[in-house]
Amino acid sequence: IGSQKDRVVTEEEWLQKWETGNIGFHKEQGHPLLQKYLDVLLNGRSGLRIFFPLCGKAVEMKWLADMGHNVVGVEVSEQALKEFFAEHGLPYSEEPVPGISGAKKLQSTCGNISLYCCSIYDLSSSIVGKFDGFWDRGALVAVNPCDRQRYVSLMITLMEKNSSYLLITVSYDPNKHKGPPFYVPESEIKSLFDHCEIKCLQKVDDFSDRHRQWGLDYFLEVLYTIKSVA
């Protein structure tokens, strides 16, 4: 963990990953843990506002929109967002975002998917409102370690009362890979999400050739649910 704490990945580096197609994190088939824990996210509710921080072109946004929820995402790469709409054949419109210079909002024509092209740190609840549900996969673990508290504090300000937050982290030997994704231990999740109730629901083996090439010999995904108790 010590080996990762000073690591910084710049926005330009992320944009470059998209340009060169170096996006091994993208799951074309969507994430099986969202399917499995959908009920925990929805908790019997319909028509939710669901937030996807650092969304990339996550196909789960389409799943949830098709179920009748309103999806909001944020992503620095405009290419990622355009690929999302193109790959799902969704027409969209673009508009500037009042209050964030240089930012754009790409919104599906039917209105149920709004993707902000800007840095997560430019957002606030006055711009995007609050959310009933959060899907945080490849997001907290992609945030630079020095920005983690700032990121989590922002997420907490976006949580509606009774919101449910699904967080997926990864577990591996941080001395063997510099990240991202970064290793965020459970003790740190608990201190970051201060005043929240945190439950670890599942750990799954996700070890693949990609991780072997990084020099690792194990790689787990860890699913947490987070509820604000404030």
Distance from C-alpha of 73 to C-alpha of 36, rounded to nearest angstrom: 21
Any binding-site annotation on 19? yes
E strand residue ranges, 76-171:
92-96, 104-108, 113-117, 131-137, 159-171
User: Per-residue x/- mask for ligand SAH, residues 171 to 200, rule CB under 6 A?
Assistant: ------------------------------
Query: Are the C-beta atoms of 197 and 186 separated by less than 8 Å?
Result: no
Distance from C-alpha of 91 to C-alpha of 192, rounded to nearest angstrom: 38
Nearest to 14 by CA among 55, 59, 51: 55
In angstroms, what is the minimal distance from the CB of 205 to ligand SAH?
18
* 77 belongs to the binding site for ligand SAH (CB under 6 A): yes
* 133 belongs to the binding site for ligand SAH (CB under 6 A): no
Please, what is the end-to-end C-alpha distance for the chain in angstroms? 30
Nearer to ligand SAH, 16 or 162 (CB): 16
Any binding-site annotation on 163? no
* 61 belongs to the binding site for ligand SAH (CB under 6 A): no
User: Could you tell me which residues are annotated as the binding site for S-adenosyl-L-methionine?
Assistant: 14-25, 54, 75, 119-120, 137
> Which residue ranges make up the site for ligand SAH (CB under 6 A)?
14, 25-26, 54-56, 58, 74-77, 80, 119-121, 137-139, 142
